[in-house]
Amino acid sequence: MDGKYMELREQVCFPVYALSRAIIGHYRPLLDELGITYPQYLVLLLLWEEEPQTVGQLSEQLRLDSGTLTPLLKRLEQNGLVVRTRSNEDERVVRIGLTTEGSALKNRALAIPARMVESLGLTTEELLQLKTITTKILNKPSCNQAHCPTDTTKNKR
């Protein structure tokens, strides 16, 4: 195989990685207005859809291990946005629910998707195409948490 395939500009991974960082950068000022980080926003999005959810459910949907998710949830709780309660049936199971303040934050976040479309300078159709392609890759049977981890904190030394 030709060495050209080992050049950064030939790799698919780098523009995807750089795009992820750029998109999160576009979210940052919008989320700063709400006093939350991007990972906290993702947790809140899931809880705004359905609550309560267990740490395990959130972990699976966000593709984060509990060691990464737990400190994030503790910060959300310290900020008064969520409550963590242990299950009466199994104390190892922790349920996460929204506080009144956490629920109310949704109203302030409603403008974020439209502001993101505007910020990125793409059409809604282009963004949907991007989402379709990335979702197709992430939903491949071989792309589960073990093979396609999105949490790289475990690999840091």
Q: What are the sequence ranges of the domains in the chain?
A: 12-140
Rounded to an integer, the average pLDDT of 64-85 is: 95
Question: 12-140 architecture in CATH?
Answer: Orthogonal Bundle (1.10)
* pLDDT at res. 147: 46
Q: What percent of the chain has pLDDT over 90?
A: 71
CB atoms within 10 A of CB 96: 23
DSSP per-residue codes, 109-122: HTTHHHHHHHHHT-
Confidence of residue 60 (pLDDT cuts 50, 70, 90): very high
Banded model confidence at residue 46, pLDDT cuts 50, 70, 90: very high
Which tens digit of pLDDT belongs to each residue from 85-120?
A: 998 888 889 999 999 999 999 999 999 999 999 999
Q: Tell whether the model's pLDDT for residue 129 goes beyond 90.
A: yes
User: What mean pLDDT is predicted for residues 63-82?
Assistant: 95
The per-residue DSSP string of 42-65 comes to HHHHHHHHS--EEHHHHHHHHT--
Contacts for 8 with CB less than 8 Å, ≥ 6 apart: 14
Predicted model pTM? 0.84
